């Protein structure tokens, strides 16, 4: 048996002895199931919730870039704040049902960036799941979209830092290195100063990321970021 008080495990032991010792505690029968800490998903894409099983009407992708170009970069441009909200409900409920109590999400909705992280955060609060959110900054849709993504990260991190509970946190999101110019990386490095946060980035997810880094700057992906 496990005794819990104020969200903290205070004792693990024999059922009968703990039942007597903590007689005023609420009793929950696990019905023979395993009791374990909540699982943590360290990299999720909530925006992709409704793409599972979707026929992309394209030839199967052969590499990382083709997956992005044929599916994800088409889908993310169509997302509205309402789409993002219901994607969050679907993802978080699915996570909770499967024992995931903490989700690190890397969000993208380039035509609907502002307030997207706040929209996801509101759903997380409603459902009571712990989450860390960021927006994936990228130059692929132009610098205006880039800067809007930077602002969303900064604004959400500041908001999350002021929250009294520990359910909502913010990170600074970056897409893969090959979609980020030196100008953007330098700006992100500047904007994160003083925010008490870190970066959440796709790094060397495909061989093209390495090739682009070497071609454009003569450095490997991680060396370039450093």
Non-local (6+) Cβ contacts of 18 within 8 A are 1, 3, 11
Assess contact for 168 and 125: CB atoms under 8 A: yes
pLDDT of res. 211: 86
Name the CATH superfamily, with its identifier, for domain 38-225.
Metal-dependent hydrolases (3.20.20.140)
What ranges do the domains of the chain cover?
A: 1-35, 38-225
pLDDT of res. 12: 94
Beta-bridge mates of residue 3: 11
pLDDT in tens, 178-218: 889 999 999 999 999 999 999 999 988 888 888 888 887 78
How buried is 113 (Cβ within 10 angstroms: 0-12 exposed, 13-18 middle, 19+ buried)? Answer: buried
In the chain, the percentage of residues whose pLDDT exceeds 70 is 100
pLDDT of res. 72: 82
Residue ranges in the chain whose pLDDT is less than 50 = none
């Amino acid at each position: 048996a496990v005794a819990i008080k104020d969200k903290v495990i205070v004792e693990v032991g024999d059922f009968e002895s703990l039942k007597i010792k903590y007689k005023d505690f609420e009793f929950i029968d696990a019905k023979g199931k395993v009791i374990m800490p909540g699982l943590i998903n360290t990299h999720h894409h909530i925006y992709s919730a409704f793409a599972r099983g979707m026929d992309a009407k394209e030839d199967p992708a052969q590499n990382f870039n083709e997956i992005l170009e044929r599916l994800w970069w088409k889908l993310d441009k169509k997302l509205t704040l309402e789409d993002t909200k219901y994607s969050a409900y679907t993802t978080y409920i699915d996570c909770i049902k499967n024992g995931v109590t903490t989700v690190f999400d890397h969000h993208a909705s380039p035509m609907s960036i502002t307030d997207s992280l706040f929209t996801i955060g509101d759903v997380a609060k409603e459902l009571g799941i712990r989450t860390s959110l960021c927006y994936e900054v990228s130059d692929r849709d132009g610098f205006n979209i880039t800067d809007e993504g930077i602002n969303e990260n900064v604004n959400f991190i500041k908001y999350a830092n002021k929250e009294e509970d520990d359910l909502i946190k913010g990170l600074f999101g970056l897409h893969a290195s090959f979609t980020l110019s030196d100008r953007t990386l330098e700006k992100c490095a500047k904007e994160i100063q003083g925010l008490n946060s870190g970066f959440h980035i796709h790094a060397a997810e495909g061989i093209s990321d390495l090739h682009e880094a070497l071609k454009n700057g003569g450095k490997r992906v991680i060396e370039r970021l450093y």
